[in-house]
Amino acid sequence: MEPGQVLGDRYRLVERLGRGGMGEVWSAADQGLDRRVAIKIVLAELDGEPGLIARLRQEARVAAGLQHPGITVVHDIGEHRAGDRVHPFFVMELLAGTDFRTLLAGHPDGLPVERVTELVAQVADALDYAHRKGVVHRDVKPANLMELAEGGVKICDFGICRYADATTQLTATGGMLGTPAYMAPEQYEGKPVDARADLYSLGCTLHALLTGRPPFTGSPATLMHQHLTADPPRLTVLRPDAPPELEHLMARLLAKDPEDRPATAADVAAALRDIPHRPADPAPGPVGDGITQENLPTEPVAVPPAGDDGTPPTTRAPRPPHLTRRRVLIGAAATAVAAVGGGGVALASLLKDHDRSDSDKPTGPIVLSGYFGAVNEVAVAQLRGKTVAVSGTADGTVRLWDLAAGEQVGAPLSGHTGAVFGVAVGHLNGRVIAVSGGDDNTVRVWDLAAGTQLGAPLSGHSDAVSAVAVGQLNGKTIAVSGAWGDGAVRMWDLAAGKQLGTPLTGHSDSVNAVALGQLKGKAIAVSGELDGTVRVSDLAAGKRLGAPLTGHRNAVYAVAVGELMGKAIAVSGGADGTVRVWDLAAGKQLGAPFENDSGNVNAVAVGQLNGKTIAVSGAGRGVVRVWDLVAWKQLGAPLTGHSDMVNVYGVTVDQMNGKTIAVSGAGDNALRVWDLAAGKPFTYPGS
Cα separation, 220 vs 217, in Å, equals: 9
Cα separation, 650 vs 379, in Å, equals: 8
Q: Which amino acid appears at position 674 of this protein? A: W
Q: Which amino acid appears at position 390 of this protein? A: V
Cα separation, 570 vs 515, in Å, equals: 9
**What are the Cα distances from residue 45, in Å, to 17, 21, 176?**
21, 11, 18
Sequence-distant (≥ 6) Cβ neighbours of residue 634 within 8 angstroms: 594, 625, 626, 627, 628
Beta strand 534-538 with 458-459 is unpaired
Q: Cα angle at 509 between 504 and 511, to 5 degrees?
A: 65
Helix runs in 235-356, H state only: 235-238, 244-253, 265-273, 325-341
Is there a contact between 421 and 376 (Cβ–Cβ < 8 Å)? Answer: yes
Is there a contact between 569 and 558 (Cβ–Cβ < 8 Å)? Answer: no
Q: Is 139 a catalytic residue?
A: yes
Q: Could you count the other beta carbons within 10 Å of the beta carbon of residue 449?
A: 18
Q: Cα angle at 75 between 73 and 77, to 5 degrees?
A: 125
640: nearest Cα among 622, 628, 616: 622
Task: Label residue 593 exposed, middle or buried (CB < 10 Å: 0-12, 13-18, 19+).
Answer: buried
Question: Is 40 assigned a ligand-binding role in the annotation?
Answer: yes
Structure letter (DSSP) for residue 466: E
567: nearest Cα among 583, 554, 553: 583
Helix runs in 319-358, H state only: 325-341
534: nearest Cα among 490, 566, 578: 578
Catalytic site residue from 99, 128, 139, 309: 139
- Which residues on neighbouring strands pair with residue 74, listed in sequence order? 92
Structure letter (DSSP) for residue 339: H
604: nearest Cα among 588, 624, 589: 624
Binding residues for ATP: 40
What residues are labeled active site? 139
Binding residues: 40
